[in-house]
Chain A
Amino acid sequence: MNRNLFKNGKILLAVLWMAGFFVYLANFIELRLHYQLQQPAFLWGIDFFSHHLSYPGGIAEYLSLFLMQFFINNLPGAFVLVLLGLLFSSGLSMVVQRLKGKPVFGVLIFGLPIAVIAALAGNYLLPLAVIVKIIFSLWFLLPCMCIKTNLYLKSLFFSLLAVLTYWFAGAIALYLFSGALIICQLNQNGKAQKIFITLLIVGLSIFIPFLSYQLFFNIGQEQAYFGLLPDRPVMLRYKLNYLVYLYIGLLLVLLLLEQAVTFFGLAHQKNDKKAAVKKYALILVQALILFAASFFMVRGSYNTHLKNQILVNYYAEREQWQEVTEIALQTKGYDYKINFEFNRALFHLGLLSDKMFSYPQLIGSDALFPGKRIAGEITQMASDLYFDLGHINESLHWAYETQTLLPNSPRALKRIVVGNLIVGNYKAAGVYLEMLKQNWLYNEWTMKYEKYLNNNDLVASDSLISAKRSMMPAFFVTSGNPASNLLNLLRANQKNKMAYEYLQAYHLLNHELGYFVSHIDSLNNFGYSKLPRNFEEALLLYLTQKTDEKYADVKFTESTLNDFKGFSKTIIGSKGKKEIARPALQKYAATYWYYVMYLSPKVTKKELKTRNAR
């Protein structure tokens, strides 16, 4: 009765433990954000598969990409990660069972892998392949535990599995496999056999990568000898951290612990009350360690800022602009990507000229036009922006750059397809559509647009395509100066409201009040019933510097005038000492005046840091 209760209790706790991580991964980490950031693509074609056979670790990466397709939604994504945690735990448990019988550290073996995986998932750049590769090495270890044959056959079998581990999962997985195998050999009989097997395994770990680099695979040295992370463009490169080392070392440490217990004879306790107490005490200690370690790892890895950054991008892609602004304003600390999407969202909500300064525009106009800095991480942003603006060629240019870095990125492929349909290059659209058709997640989307390829009427009846076509500009060379591009866009289509608002925002952010004022009359083209709040603020500032009869009769809103009076009064009160006035001016932090005085990069000299273009 008691034994059953204990067993059932264990199962219940195990289920609760896994369920807890499932909920955490689905609701807090939100695995769809991994998908959003990494744009993993899995294609069914034979070329895609054979490419993954052509380098060590490719098969594990192929499988990882397949599994990552489930990350498109939180629930299946969380299920995949929990399943991988279980695979790790059960694999390790079986290895220990084969090695020496029931594990002493069963609680840690069961509970720790999923906790480390959940903590790893706190970094949205995590390549799933890291998790999968280590599980590969563990599961290749298992057959080694089963083989009870003579030394030569055993050696052959180990060698074969070592080669397969390297080919399927790469160099680090091989080293882990070898390390674990050596540990497993420690309690085997026969000193000579142990030495032989150890030497063999060490030799394999050295020669397999060496020979594969020299003779078999056309790969770089780093990949041959230290391959763990998949090849990615710089903006998606994952930095190894203590959690990865912990995850890799988990197998070795737990195996060593189990072997140590056997070595020191601690496992062979008499079956009496004292032993039972010790057993329960050990379980309790393990549980405490597990809870404490899990709590600190998971808490330490949870990155709200990065999550919000991706979430903002996620909602922007789906045109859920209200959510974009809400999350942007909730996020602590400045982020230029959030700033960029916030500005876009405000425009789409019709609020750009009213509320732009409600988010601190710390890098000025660079948060309007990310293309000024050429780096992989801004290519998709730039493509989105120019698509909104109707400058389809420029949008395509950036989409091609994205596709160059992430050849199968569904997002890039979709943009290129639609962009080419807009510009009328249906055959080129067809090429990219064919690529996307190999990705099963986009069947519905590709079926829709496939019909467009040979049907001009259908293309013309598409509201998005016809709207963009009407915005497309005449010939001009895209300049490094965004204002010039926006003016060209406005020349092509005087109703391009986004071009106008971005032009004015650009001038405001660059303190170019003269230019701003010169375009203010064009407001009438866009159906404004009154001056937007930011325009009022800028015009008031302009009128303090320059008398302009033309604007003498402008009726400013009461609240703007009052705020301006209050702002001016505080400044005068501080006798021009900016920093003294700053605390009192905090209530005007969302105004243009505050931006000009405290936040503008022209004042702070803040600049976007660039990194390697790729």
Chain B
Amino acid sequence: MKAFYFFFISLIFFRCGAPNIENYIGIDADVPMFPDYSQTIIPPNIAPLNFYIEAEAEAYFVKIYSETGKEIRVFTRKPSICINEKKWKKLLADNKNKVLVFEVYIKKGKQWMMYKRVENYIADTDIESYLAYRLINTGYVLWKKIGIYQRNLTNFDETAIFENSSADEACVNCHSFCKNNPDKMIMHLRSSFAGTVLIDGNTKKKVNTQSKYTMSAGVYPAWHPNGRLVAFSVNKINQYFTSDTSKRIIVSDNASDIVVYDIKTNTITTCSDISTRSRENTPAWSPDGKWLYFVSAPECFDMETRNNTRYSLLRIAFNSDSLSWGRVDTLISSTQTGISFSFPRVSPDGKYVLLSGADYGYFSIVNSKSDLYLFNLETGELILPEIINSEQAESYHDWSETGRWFVFASKRTDGLFSRPYFSYVDVNGNVYKPFVLPQKNPLFYKSFAKNYNVPELISGKVRLSAREMRNMAMQEPVNASFDMNVHINALSGATRISDEYKGAAH
């Protein structure tokens, strides 16, 4: 009896693991795989790249191998190819800097056929183990369920960092981490429980960053590398809907400035060069903390100038010890390039700025013309890497700590939903074909009607549970005070704060 079971089980394994494909014929075609995981560079610690073969067949067989180690075999009657996690991890770990091959066979009638081999390259540098993002529906005005989640990039586990269903459906947005550190985080809440939750190691607090001298609470954040300061834009934002299917919505600002929040002193400061009548926005620090990068567009006077003006890339010198500001440089002029820039992010080696560029405005995620650009700070060269861009919006992006990877949101999959894509950058600044965040179910992106918003790479898991974050979010915020040594407010009028108001500042 035992022998019978052994024979039976062996038969199953034999059938599942190794079909007889010796007499296959080759097809001169690329594998119709979804998502497209071909000709890309992948991190050695990434989760299995499960995919779906968009071809009708009676059976499917995939061999995955590299130079060394045991090849992975997947035999299935269904076109979803789900790869064993354990075997995948071993194969990748054993073959850094080597080619990873997918051989895909399909069976039609009694004939096995093989597509062209799919080759990917395994990098030698890991990517951060977690990705944080907000999941949000496509509604533009109303909201209901919004949450910030973290996904383990080495497997398929997703956990909530914060879910608004636990806090009166407050609108939660603009989460940000200091140098990819999961223990240094901020996120904003609007409507219910409004304020900014700040996690700094074991210190947790909730702050109201709006003051009498700022036009709004902090919006787009950027952590200073010293972990003590956070630059925020303050904005008066509007949105307009259009009849054009490629430009469904226009998001623009009536006014905007930049302020800097000091966690230690709970103070907001600014200077006359970043709180002008022009619209300064989307700040980012250089890795050494000596420069604050931002974009700026001229003051708006009407609907036309509000919606259609372009943003230039600027930077201003900063001394974090004395909290003093230097002069402003214009790095890329939108007038000269005809491109409107936003969300500059400086690479960890300080050589490049990765930024969004589009035909107008700064809110690139809703603009299908938005692409990612790479600006070389040493040569002043602006590059549009075609390999990472598509006809749909490429937008919010974030560097890995090593500088070898970056993540960005792209709507290329279907033109409507933003999905996180990863791309490799070599030491010479060459970028390579991106790949989408792998999912356990390869068809996940074909039925998931939420957007991945503000993807940020983090080096580990956010330790606070969603319940602890909920408790934090529900606390009363502490009001930040405005630095009375600054004689410029951030109401985008660049008006001087008169002495009589000084006493009123909280």
| Residues of A that sit less than 8 Å from B by CB | 214-215, 217-220, 231, 233, 374, 376, 379, 391-394, 396-397, 400-401, 403-405, 407, 420, 423-425, 427-428, 430-432, 434-435, 472-478, 488, 492, 613-614
Contacts and interface: CB of A to CB of B under 8 A. Distances in A.
Contacts of B244: 393, 474-475
Contact of B416 (A374, A401, A404, A431): A431
Contacts of B416: 420, 425, 427-428, 431
Contacts of A231: 165
B414 A614 contact: no
B137 interface: yes
A431 B241 contact: no
B34 to A, nearest CB: 11
B4 interface: no
Interface in B118-158: 137-145
A64 to B, nearest CB: 18
Nearest to B247: A475
Say what secondary structure dominates the interface of chain A.
helix
- Of A218, A393, A403, chain B has the most CB atoms within 10 Å of the CB of A218
Contact of B139 (A391, A392, A401, A478): A401
Nearest to A46: B441
B242 A476 contact: yes
B160 A218 contact: yes
A396 B245 CA distance: 10
14 contacts: A220-B166, A393-B241, A393-B242, A393-B248, A394-B243, A400-B137, A400-B139, A400-B140, A404-B138, A428-B417, A431-B448, A475-B242, A475-B244, A478-B242
A301 B449 CA distance: 38
B447 interface: yes
Contact of A435 (B142, B240, B248, B449): B449
B113 interface: no
A430 B137 contact: no
A435 B450 CA distance: 12
B243 A405 contact: no
B166 A379 contact: no
A405 B241 contact: no
Given A218-B163, A477-B241, A477-B250, 14 more contacts: A374-B142, A391-B243, A401-B140, A403-B137, A423-B245, A431-B414, A431-B445, A431-B446, A431-B449, A475-B242, A475-B244, A476-B242, A478-B240, A478-B241
A394 B241 contact: yes
Contact of B140 (A397, A427, A435, A475): A397
B413 to A, nearest CB: 7
B87 interface: no
A477 B447 contact: no
Interface centre among A404, A420, A430, A473 (most CB of B within 10 A): A404
A206 B416 CA distance: 47
Contacts of B443: 434
B449 A403 contact: yes
A379 B243 contact: no
Contacts of B446: 430-431, 434
Interface string B149-187: 000000000001001011111000000000000000000
B146 to A, nearest CB: 9
Contact of A374 (B138, B141, B166): B141
Contacts of A233: 144
Contacts of B163: 218
Interface string B447-458: 111000000000
Interface in B406-443: 413-417, 443
B166 A393 contact: no
A614 B243 CA distance: 24
B392 to A, nearest CB: 10
Contacts of A425: 245, 414-416
Closest 8 CB pairs of A and B: A404-B139, A434-B447, A427-B414, A428-B416, A404-B137, A423-B245, A475-B244, A478-B241
B160 to A, nearest CB: 6
